[in-house]
A = this chain, B = another copy of it.
Amino acid sequence: MAGTASTYDKALSDFRELDRKIRRYYEAVSLLSWDMRTGAPRKGLDVRSETVGMLSSEAFQLATSPLAGELLEQLEEKEAFNQLGEIDRKLVLESRKNYDRSVKIPPKLYEEYVVLTSQSESAWEEARKNNDFAAFQGYLDRVIGYTNQFIDLWGPKETRYDTLLDEYEPDMTVAELDGIFSSLRGELVPLAAAIAASPNKPSRSFLEGHFDREKQKEFSRYMLGQLGFDFEAGRIDESAHPFQTTINLKDVRITTRYLADDLTSALFGTIHEAGHALYEQNVSPELAGTSLCSGTSMGIHESQSRFWENTIGRSRPFWQRYYGELQGRFPDQLRISAEDFYRSQNTVQPSLIRIEADELTYNLHIIIRYEIEKMIFNEGAKAADLPAIWNEKYREYLGLTPPTDAVGVMQDVHWSAGLFGYFPSYSLGNMYAAQLSDTMERELPQTWELVAKGELAPIREWMTQRVHQYGKLRTPKEIILGATGKPLDSSHLVKYLRDKYTDIYKL
């Protein structure tokens, strides 16, 4: 039975209120979790974890409640839906997607899965330490098994792996990604080989030394100010692993880690997290307090962190402007030129470990993982098969063979935690960043002069206009098409890397 106009109004206001209430729970959960990672007393952590679990579960129950289902049904009626504004429509669509995804998994199955992944992560940690893949293999097979059950419950898309991809990068498909990644791989493998063969290698030796942590801290804050991070709507703290978290639209936090023997780790870490934070701080206030008030996907989010870290932060004009500032703080250690510093931050070297990889070979690490994940879910590869597959691909794409599984197939936590379909986001981020940057250079022809002068506001504003403001109001595909006029392709990243490294390595 169709409702009346006033039923719809009531449903809409109840629906908004429910969404807002769920967001408030997540605000609390985010802050409690942030606190656990930035200095909560050790002995209180067990109780805290339970409190986080309780509040998350309350939010989950609200989002999957019969009331949520009824309100969605009422608002999805054609007459009601047509009357909704743009934001409310999107809110209904997003909530429906999450609702269906959640209610399709029986609670008991999900609980088993949570317990399993927790055990599996511990097993992975231990197995990696002992370089004992056999001890981890059974867990991995079981995590894969549960993930396959979820795919069945959610309903497989074009391929089974598409169902997983869609969780992190909505509407991304294997068909599309196969094309993009195979052309990217085709270009990068020979380019990496040419770089490896070049005799013109940047020196990194000066990077050794002692770098006062307080001075690093002060420079990180200075840099955040330069990037346009709003300190009245965010803060920076320290944690073992850097991260960005959003408490609310005007409370966006990042962390970094200052190492006394490594100047650039915290520096680029800060710039990277600032990229995420600028995205979150600049979502349109119209979306404040709704579940649309956040980055639209992992890939687009990563495009923002990598744009600032690599495209801008590892560019020559950037260090023409800022090297003096850095050198002024570390005059005894930095006895080299701005140009040599710039080159040192752009070395390319095939390596075994993803998280230590440079911006070029990083993509090959990702493509390997993508291909293996497809084999698991679309071709039935088992955990036992993975070490051999892994090593063969590293030999083929990076010219290296891992001496142990610990630095090979077991290096990442993701699979042990059930995060399948997540890895592609990192390379998508690089490609989105390059494609956005290509358009920006045309629409803002003085881009690099601005960078060289440290006038970064117009660049940030361009990104806010094209990306940040929309939050989840637009899908990744809509964002990239709207901003650049065409769908994602890998050519801009290839061109960016080829131009940059041909120059640096004098290819």
Listed in ascending order, the chain A residues whose CB lies under 8 Å from chain B are 21, 24, 27-28, 31-32, 35, 39-44, 47-48, 50-51, 54-55, 58, 230-235, 247-252, 288-289
CB-based nearest B residue for A21: B54
Point out which of A31, A58, A232, A288 has the most chain B C-beta atoms below 10 A from its C-beta: A31
For this complex, 27 residue pairs linking A to B, each with C-beta atoms less than 8 Å apart, are A24-B50, A24-B54, A27-B48, A28-B28, A28-B51, A28-B55, A31-B32, A31-B35, A40-B235, A40-B247, A41-B231, A41-B232, A41-B233, A41-B234, A41-B235, A41-B250, A42-B232, A43-B230, A43-B232, A43-B233, A43-B251, A44-B233, A44-B248, A44-B250, A47-B289, A48-B247, A48-B251
- CB–CB A47/B251 < 8 A: yes
Tell me, rounded to whole Å, the shortest Cβ–Cβ distance linking A28 to chain B.
Answer: 5
CB neighbours of A250 from chain B (8 A): 41, 43-44, 47
For A24, give its contact among B41, B44, B51, B289 (CB under 8 Å).
B51
A40 to chain B: closest residue by CB: B251
Residues of chain B within 8 A of A233, CB atoms compared: 41-44
Report yes or no: B51 in contact with A27, Cβ–Cβ below 8 A. yes
Those 9 A-B pairs whose CB atoms lie nearest each other, nearest first: A44-B251, A43-B250, A44-B250, A43-B233, A47-B248, A24-B51, A28-B28, A42-B232, A24-B54
The interface residues of chain B lying within 8 Å CB-to-CB of A251 are 40-41, 43-44, 47-48
Residues of B within 8 A of A249 (CB): 44, 47
Q: Which residue of B lies closest to A54 (CB)?
A: B24
Known A-B contacts: A39-B235, A41-B233. Give 19 more (CB < 8 A).
Answer: A21-B54, A24-B54, A24-B55, A27-B48, A28-B32, A28-B55, A31-B32, A31-B35, A35-B35, A40-B251, A41-B232, A41-B235, A42-B233, A43-B251, A44-B248, A44-B250, A48-B248, A51-B248, A58-B58
Distance to closest chain B CB from A280 (angstroms): 12
Residues of chain B within 8 A (CB-CB) of A27 are 47-48, 51
A55 CB to nearest B CB, Å: 6
Min Cβ gap A471→B in Å is 15
CA distance A248 to B50 in the complex (A): 11
Contacts of A21 in B (CB 8 A): 54
| Contact (Cβ within 8 A) A44 B230 | no
Which chain B residue has the least Cβ–Cβ distance from A39?
B235
CB distance from A138 to the nearest CB of B (A): 35
CA distance A316 to B78 in the complex (A): 81
In the assembled complex, which residues on chain B have CB atoms less than 8 Å from the CB atom of A24? Answer: 50-51, 54-55
Q: What's the nearest-Cβ distance from chain B to residue A48, in Å? A: 7
- Closest Cβ of chain B to A229, distance in Å, is 11
Query: Smallest distance from the beta carbon of A151 to chain B beta carbons, Å?
Result: 34
Bound state CA distance, A357 and B24, in angstroms?
Answer: 42
Shortest Cβ distance from residue A126 to the other chain B in the assembled complex, whole angstroms: 25
Q: Which of A28, A55, A231 has the most CB of B within 10 A?
A: A28
Whole-angstrom CA separation of A42 from B235 in the bound complex: 10
CA distance A384 to B42 in the complex (A): 53
Contacts of A51 in B (CB 8 A): 24, 27-28, 248
Q: How far is the CB of A225 from chain B (nearest CB, A)?
A: 14
Distance of A32 Cα from B28 Cα, bound (Å): 7
The minimal Cβ–Cβ distance linking A202 to chain B, given in whole angstroms, is 39
Q: A248 to chain B: closest CB distance in Å? A: 4
